[in-house]
Structure 1
Amino acid sequence: MGSEGPPAVTIHVTGFKKFHGVSENPTETIVSNLKEYMKKKGMPKGCILGSCNVLETAGQGALAALYQTLQSAISEKDSDSPNSRRIVWLHFGVNSGATRFAIEQQAFNEATFRCPDELGWKPQKVPIVPTDGEITRVRETTLPVEEMTKTLAKKGYEVLTSNDAGRFVCNYVYYHSLRFAEQNGTKSLFVHVPLFLTIDEETQMQFAASLLEFALLRLICGCQMLKI
């Protein structure tokens, strides 16, 4: 057991479909093409790319589908030892007004949608998980966001750390994912990307690949404080 080295890190990825004002969501393209892209590029040693799912851009109405997606990764690991469960959820969302990539540090327990989601829901100042308390409740990722940002910036990407994922569906999904991660001993991260008009598709695919290789894998495997 000691000579086998640490178990592989399995990274599951999600993106979103179109929504109001964004007829073509770049994250749908990124996530749909990521497995083929990484097959050609080559996955980093010790890293497994798990499921790549595109979610409906909806909150409450799509909750069952979201949890089915999250639970699927845990179910696959049921036969493994808890100590070998090294799972990361990587969620991509688009910020149509952004000029840089943004790695999100946290999510708020608040749903205040600026427009109806794709299933017609438009909550205002509603707690995402009422049993978690007030809308001011925050959940933070346990991944080293600042280090990731620095690593990716050194690779030449326009990227920043963000402490506000908005209050729309991106924040909604991230909050649920962070809560699920805490309950199940996994990790979760959300990254906002610009439109392809701002940063072209090839650069965004390279960024996604670099995020797997230079940020998630290297820092998770090399950072003992994460205790995955």
Structure 2
Amino acid sequence: MILLTGFEPFGGESTNPSWSAARDAAAELRAEGLDARAVELPCVFGDAIRVLEAALERHRPELVVCAGQAGGRPRISLERIAINCDDARIPDNAGNAPVDQPVASGGPAAYFSTLPVKTALAALLTAGIPAEVSQTAGTYVCNHVFYGLMHALRLRPGTRGGFVHVPFEPAQLPAGSNQPSLPLAQLTEALAVVVRSTLATTADLKIAAGATH
């Protein structure tokens, strides 16, 4: 079973493309005969992980792909690492703004994604979808969920998971904006490609996708 998640709108937005893409990708994968479900997470520290953990318990997936919006990024970002740090530049949807707090008290400093991020990168680029491997998921609710996911999966051997950031979709941007965006159909297909490439991969590709800064 495959679980995809996205977030409710935040920061004054009326939509969040991560949820739209997760919902639509799950439907696309079901049409291909795969057992896929999508769950919307609140953009709230703590609550988001609790909703995610409840979904893990209910669905018992073999693969989890969480998605979030990274407005301003021009590409699909396959996140490599989650850090044990909440440091909110803006409040979440409940008004919480933790600073320098651990996601999980006593947890390790970081977890790596168990998705084959290099294989997924190659598959996305082959499909004509702009993509990158990202070395930071930030310190807001996206990283919070990414870390919470990997912390939970340590108790679920055999279940793979990770996090994908998506850009704005064009409908979110005012006329004349020069902010980068990708069509929702492309965001949806990107998540489906990540799922398909993960299911077909046991060992990740060894290709360069690092950063100098």
TM-score (norm 2): 0.83
Between the two proteins, the alignment pairs up a number of residues equal to 193
Q: Which residue of 2 aligns with 1:110?
A: 85
Contact 2:27/2:36 (CA < 8 Å) preserved in 1? no
Q: Which residue of 2 aligns with 1:208?
A: 191
Contact 1:102/1:192 (CA < 8 Å) preserved in 2? yes
**How far is 1:143 from its partner?**
2.6
- Work out the CA distance in 2 between the residues paired with 1:143 and 1:183: 17
Q: Structure 1 residue 156 and structure 2 residue 131: aligned?
A: no
**How far is 1:49 from its partner?**
3.1
- Work out the CA distance in 2 between the residues paired with 1:104 and 1:19: 20
Q: Structure 1 residue 218 and structure 2 residue 200: aligned?
A: yes
Alignment RMSD (CA, Å) = 1.9
Larger radius of gyration: 1
Structure 2 residue ranges without an equivalent (≥5): 171-180, 205-213
- Work out the CA distance in 2 between the residues paired with 1:140 and 1:35: 24
What residue identity is the alignment partner of 1:27? S
- Work out the CA distance in 2 between the residues paired with 1:150 and 1:195: 22
Q: Which residue of 2 aligns with 1:194?
A: 167
Q: Which residue of 1 aligns with 2:66?
A: 91
Contact 1:18/1:57 (CA < 8 Å) preserved in 2? yes
After superposition, give the CA deviation of every residue in 1:101-131 in whole Å (9 maximum; x if it has no partner): 0000110000001111111110001011112
- Work out the CA distance in 2 between the residues paired with 1:188 and 1:38: 17
Contact 1:14/1:92 (CA < 8 Å) preserved in 2? yes
Q: Structure 1 residue 54 and structure 2 residue 40: aligned?
A: yes
Structure 1 residue ranges without an equivalent (≥5): 1-9, 75-85
The 1:181/1:31 distance shift into structure 2, 3 A limit, reads: same
After superposition, give the CA deviation of every residue in 1:156-199 in whole Å (9 maximum; x if it has no partner): 11000011000000000000101111211111110000111110
Contact 2:129/2:190 (CA < 8 Å) preserved in 1? yes
Contact 2:123/2:193 (CA < 8 Å) preserved in 1? no
Which structure: greater helix fraction?
1
- Work out the CA distance in 2 between the residues paired with 1:16 and 1:182: 23
- Work out the CA distance in 2 between the residues paired with 1:31 and 1:126: 28
